[in-house]
Chains A and B, each alone.
Chain A
Amino acid sequence: MRVLVDNLGAYVGGLGTTAALTVLSFALAMAVGVVIAGFRVSPVVPLRFVGALYVETIRNTPLLVLLFLFVFGLTKLGVLYGYFTSAVLVLGGYTGALVAETVRSGINTVEPGQAEAGRALGLTFPEVLLRLVLPQALRRVVAPLGGLFVALIKNSALASFVSVVDLNSVAEAVTNRTGRPLQAFGIAGVAYVLLAVPSGLGVGWLERRLAVTR
């Protein structure tokens, strides 16, 4: 595996960048997703509208289109972020829409009696949501959220299109240097699996720990 040995430093660097992209984007996605889910279930109609609009537009636009619109389109309006930052923002915002839907379905599985009891005790809607419903809802949707995390690991490859040096970008550069696309991308594929499989196992462990025992 000369290709691997000669380019090990580049691949490790790419792996680190992909991992950083994924982790940062997912953190943003969780924050965005919980907020948007909260909007969608709130009693305030304008908030529900904003939440629905966000999810429907972002979820139905291809990620690459969003990325290019953000990196090249928004600059015309004066919004200029670095390439890595832009990738994190777009990946996080996009995955956030998917997280929102997942969290919302989790909220819907929490017995309505919980929210009613909360209201009866005099809690405000944000308090009911944050202290009562969300902790129960999130525990139920750990598996789908884990699936979104693994999907994000793979989606992060699109960042290479805006000149972020991640695993995909390294594989392309190595292909060019060596003329061996099968090996170059094969190694990258294995690296992605090395990121995804432990994540899947970690999510499984988390799910078992947080399982609601009745």
Chain B
Amino acid sequence: MRRQPGHRFRIVGGAVVVVLLVLAGCSSDTGTIESPGTTGGGNVRPAGGPFDPGSVMATVADRGKLIVGTKFDQPGFGLKDPTTGKVQGFDVEVAKLVALAIFGGTPEAVEGKIEFVETVSKNREPYIQTDRVDMVVATYTINDARKQVIDFAGPYFVAQQDIMVKADDDSIKGVDDLNGKSVCTVLGSTSEKNLRAKAPRANVVLFDVYSTCAEALADGRVAAVTTDSPILAGLVKARGSAFELVKNPFSDEPYGIGVKKGATEWRAFINDQLDAMFASGEWKAAFEASLGQIGLDTPEPPSVDRYP
């Protein structure tokens, strides 16, 4: 068949058009949100500052956007709604209150100035170290090992590690019963460390996220899932009556806000905001709006640890 003139051009041109359409259709992989927030109150706060030039606050203010790492699959703390693209939860509310101190405005308006990036447990330190995020609020337990590589503001909440089993399973009453059983948790979490320390003969199954662990429990591949009780409470609630909590907690998990190691001004700023939100009642309001909705009682706020 004789080639038509311009035949090759049409093929290449067609391919270019297809590539451009695909690129145009690709959306960004970060969760930007633009619907009303869940913290109450319409007080308009003035923007913070002026900030020291060179400080993280100044950088964020100039950029016009605070980049926050959080979980996207944790009911109550950081859960992305697949239909709206909005991330909601206690961690999100705390991040919004910190952003308010930089940008001012109302909780609803400041949402547009935050870019949420998903940080699964094992990514939290790498993302901080490589400046992919300004801070991480992602059910992030403070411990000494992590303090070697990053710094923590807070704590802003103290959870406890517990165990989740199938609703009709009575064989596991506490962490010692996990020895010899298959237990699921997430790679790189303190839950994994505590599990290996307290139940050394447990068969540890590791995934990226807790929602996959819940799936494995439902399928009967593992006998239990262990992590902090608020996370488990969210998973229990999400599945009707399939799961239950053993309610025998075995360690304290103080949640902090992760920032780059050595960022003393930034850490002090965030600690100031945490103190302010504990005192003003905004912290309690944020708790009730998020974790309160999945059945947790509002505790007293913890006290911030401003370690040197």
Contact = CB atoms under 8 A, between A and B. Distances in A.
Contacts of A75: 219-221
Given A80-B219, A172-B188, A179 B122 contact: no
A176 B220 CA distance: 28
A175 interface: yes
A161 interface: yes
Contacts of B125: 176, 179
Contacts of B205: 83, 163
A83 B208 CA distance: 15
B124 to A, nearest CB: 9
Contacts of A125: none
Interface in B189-245: 205-208, 212, 215-216, 219-221
Contact of A72 (B145, B148, B219): B219
B93 to A, nearest CB: 27
B84 interface: no
B122 A176 contact: yes
What is the size category of the interface that chain A forms with chain B? 10 to 19
Interface in A154-183: 161-163, 169, 172-173, 175-177, 179, 181
- Most chain B CB inside 10 Å of its own CB: which residue of A163, A172, A173: A163
Contact of B129 (A72, A177, A179): A179
Nearest to A162: B207
Classify the secondary structure of A's interface with B: helix
Given A72-B215, A161-B208, A169-B187, A179 B221 contact: no
A175 B207 CA distance: 15
26 contacts: A72-B212, A72-B216, A75-B219, A75-B220, A75-B221, A76-B219, A80-B219, A83-B205, A83-B221, A161-B208, A163-B205, A163-B207, A169-B187, A169-B206, A172-B122, A173-B187, A175-B126, A175-B188, A176-B122, A176-B125, A176-B187, A176-B188, A179-B125, A179-B129, A179-B149, A179-B150
Given A75-B219, A173-B187, 16 more contacts: A72-B212, A72-B215, A75-B220, A76-B219, A80-B220, A83-B221, A161-B207, A163-B207, A169-B206, A172-B188, A175-B126, A175-B188, A176-B125, A177-B145, A179-B148, A179-B149
Interface of A: 72, 75-76, 80, 83, 161-163, 169, 172-173, 175-177, 179, 181
What 4 pairs across the A-B complex have the smallest Cβ distances? A179-B149, A176-B188, A75-B219, A163-B205
